[in-house]
Structure 1
């Protein structure tokens, strides 16, 4: 049975989405520290833009990537446009190197979607098992945009297969089927998700933090909503809190994969949320940097990262 919850925080100015179901205070956190550089070695990656990208779009994309390095605490990073591609080079060492370049090409598309249905599947099988108390199936007549075909595709979704269950860009206004990105127990959950009710444009800032005093787990990402985003978040959580499982759950997706889908127990106010989970320091720092810079102007694919020695 899923025990993840969202509850009202004792601090009136903070509302947090927590994977463990515990609200996290804003005080006592520690942001990711600066990058330690080491002697002359570098790591680089070549990024290929989508077909038809203009010189102006490439320059704008390079500018976003520079900001991502800056927000991730990577010093002396270099982003250049070369022959229709973008090259990113960073010093090697703790906080930099190949680790700092992992996922830098990601679009950074953040969405908050109500859950319509949820189920787990055993490894190698598309057969769902209950994600909560009992299996739940969306009723096409009850939820606008849910068709029998979509329900069939959701039921057949095998989230144990890498790369499956990723909602495509441009589907924010549609019902989608998606997979859990990093399941804690090793068994991914599948979801049927309503259209996005908040997106990255509703987030003002994102910061990587260590867990606050009394909390356990890995690094976390603290979000601050814009004024309009905070108002939406309050209204949506108030509405979902009146529902039963699984439709009281709120999925946060990043680039079409579900990062977390906790249950909402009460209306949350204050304009802040915390995404927690088994993030390493580098994962939380990179993800926060991606969210702060927003979507890339041009879609990118990445070659393998190359590490070069100065010797």
Structure 2
């Protein structure tokens, strides 16, 4: 029975070079990917790199002072966190301060202007029917927007109009699905929002639309629309003048040529809270580019179906609806048919960034409260840099003490441990650098602490393995069988220990927020890497070195000297010799 057991052990230990080659190939591939991506350093959090801090104050609408409560503030914080994460930021902090303020800290490296627009634009998203629209200010006379009649003439000539977004049903089986077209905002609407293919509005669409809008807006509002100049920032900021959802209103937005467009809009038909989910996706089937898909709530689906059914029967521009976020028209698709399925697509001239911005606004555009920006300050990394410097010194001292202990106590075995620590450090650094652009991971001070703590976890795994080997040597076994017998026992201990550490990190990551999650994430990552390094580097390297004379002979500096370990005499196999049997006398 001894021979088969020995054969199995030898085969299991026979090719440790494969494991070493595999992990070395992985290191080279990851390192190459890091340099090719251009991100050769980990992305830093706001405490290490600095950033922007935005203070927002909740405002109460007349007669709704009770709306500023803990529930609504917590909901606003949650939505703002999702908005910021929609920009690819992971280490942003969003938290309440007092009972009316919200603080948003955004790390350096993020487009702070874009973040302010999406976080500071805090609340009111509506879908409003377009009563009239035209290019605003001096640009209107110098470079007029293509009129509805010009679009019609293009289409009659067999060309596709590209001056407006189109909304269409997301169900590809729907009949009459039009091809994607660009929006006047430079943002497109897919098959869910589609317009009449042959609008017959006159060439003076803005003027005629303004006349037709008389039934939808009073003369005072029409006069304000005529005088509206959206090229002036101060005018754009007050264009809607606090209009209520049930009132007609004015709004501004930019078209695809970068010109400011003014709008006369009807009462809100769909509220931002009626959008259940919006997502930017690439249209792989038609190759038309990026589009935004929308899913509505059950109540929102009915509202959306009703308004699109009404708009589909009208001429341009009154077959359009405007997606308005705090008085700013972010898209104005036109409609060809009633969209009653509860889903819609916006497609046309989107690039990826525009599609993601619009989907982010649609998903997180409606907050339960209104907010005003109180202050915007730049956060320096001076304090975090000092703390990082002190932390790195502490980590270096701790690492030096670990290395000294390994050299003094384990001697030659310490070379294996140090090499394994270096491999673990390289993998940790490269993966952190790659995770920055991949998932927005940012290295903050707690994350650095997690990496320092991981040194002890990794060293503990080596010590467990080495002590199991030394125990086998003490029992009188030579080194190669000692390594073979020690590994299964050490493996179980290492896996259990690392599982407990990873479980603690996972729980900490789930139940905490902000910077503590950085500590938990780093601790969990380094724990997983410890398993990879021990299985694919430390153990194979130990198996190879066990065949070398320096270790196999138990050299006094190998760390496996039988005399120093107080080993028993070598175990020897011997055959049993049967004692002579004396013949029994009869």
TM-score w.r.t. length of structure 1: 0.71
CA gap of 1:179–1:70, structure 2 versus 1, over 3 A, is closer
- Relative distance call for 1:150 and 1:78 in structure 2 (3 A) is same
The equivalences for 1:263-302 within 5 A come to 263-276=334-347, 281=352, 284-285=355-356, 287-293=358-364, 294-301=366-373
Q: Do residues 197 (structure 1) and 213 (structure 2) align?
A: no
Q: 2:246 aligns with which of 173, 180, 185?
A: 173
Q: Equivalences for 1:78-97 in 2 at 5 Å? A: 78-82=93-97, 85-93=101-109, 96=110
For residue 38 of structure 1, give the secondary structure of its aligned residue in structure 2. coil
Q: CA deviation at 1:225?
A: 1.0
Residue 302 (structure 1) shift: 5.2
Return the offset for 1:232: 2.3
Match in the other structure for 1:153: 224
Taking the TM superposition and a 5 Å limit, the aligned residue runs for 1:40-189 are 40-50=48-58, 56=70, 58-82=73-97, 85-93=101-109, 96=110, 98=112, 101-103=115-117, 104-123=119-138, 131-132=147-148, 133-134=203-204, 135-139=207-211, 143-144=215-216, 146-165=217-236, 166-180=239-253, 182-189=254-261
Check the 8 A contact 2:243/2:249 in 1, yes or no.
no
Query: Helix, strand or coil for the counterpart of 2:367?
Result: coil
Question: Which residue of 2 is the match for residue 8 of structure 1?
Answer: none
The correspondence of residues 204-283 of structure 1 with structure 2, limited to 5 A, is 204-210=276-282, 212-216=284-288, 220-276=291-347, 281=352
Give the match's secondary structure for 1:90.
strand
SS in 1 for 2:208: coil
From the superposition, tell whether residues 46 and 203 of structure 1 become closer, same or farther in structure 2 (CA, over 3 Å). same
Deviations, residues 78-130 of structure 1 (Å, cap 9, x unaligned): 1233466432223434xx46366332121232211111122223536799967
Could you list the per-position Cα deviations for residues 135-167 of structure 1 after superposition, in whole angstroms to 9, with x for gaps in the alignment? 3243489515x2221111101111222243432
Mapped partners of 2:114, 2:225: distance in 1: 34
Assess if the C-alpha contact under 8 Å between 1:64 and 1:296 holds in 2: no
Structure-2 residue corresponding to 1:7: none
Q: CA deviation at 1:283?
A: 5.6
SS in 2 for 1:268: coil
CA, structure 1 residues 222+296, in 2 after alignment: closer, same or farther (shift >3 Å)? Answer: same
CA offsets, 1:54-92, max 9 Å, x none? 673655533432343345443232123346643222343
SS at match of 1:248: coil
Deviation digits for residues 20-60 of structure 1 (CA, Å, limit 9, x no counterpart):
xxxxxxxxxxxxxxxx9603314232213146786736555
The CA deviation at 1:248 is 1.6
Change (3 A) 1:259 1:66: closer
Question: Which SS does the other structure have where 2:81 is aligned?
Answer: helix
Measure the CA separation in 1 of the matches of 2:134 and 2:92. 42
Mark the CA change 1:190 to 1:38 in structure 2 (over 3 Å): closer, same or farther. Answer: same
* C-alpha distance in structure 1 between counterparts of 2:124 and 2:299, whole Å: 18
Q: Which is higher, the Rg of structure 1 or of structure 2?
A: 2
Contact 2:278–2:362 (Cα < 8 Å) also in 1? yes
Give the conservation status (yes or no) of the 8 Å contact 2:56–2:120: no
Q: 3-state SS of the aligned residue for 1:299?
A: strand
Higher-helix-fraction structure: 2
Distance 1:107 1:276, change over 3 A: farther
CA distance in 2: counterparts of 1:276 and 1:245, whole angstroms = 18
- 126-135 or 40-49: which moved more? 126-135
- Structure 2 runs not aligned, ≥5 long: 1-40, 149-202, 386-586
**RMSD across aligned positions (CA):** 3.5
1:206 CA drift (Å): 1.8
Deviation, 1:288, is: 3.5
Give, in whole Å, the separation in 2 of the partners of 1:185 and 1:97: 23
| Shift in CA distance, 80/206, structure 1 to aligned 2, threshold 3 Å | same
In the alignment, the residues of structure 2 paired with residue 239 and residue 272 of structure 1 have an alpha-carbon distance, to the nearest angstrom, of 17
Residue 211 of structure 1 and its aligned partner are, at CA, apart by 5.0
CA gap 1:167/1:275 in 2 versus in 1, 3 angstroms: farther
Return closer, same or farther for 1:257/1:98 CA change in 2, 3 Å cut-off.
closer
Distance 1:212 1:175, change over 3 A: farther
Determine helix, strand or coil for the equivalent of 2:90.
coil
Q: What is the count of residue pairs matched by the alignment?
A: 271
Question: Distance in 1 between the 2:375 and 2:285 partners?
Answer: 40
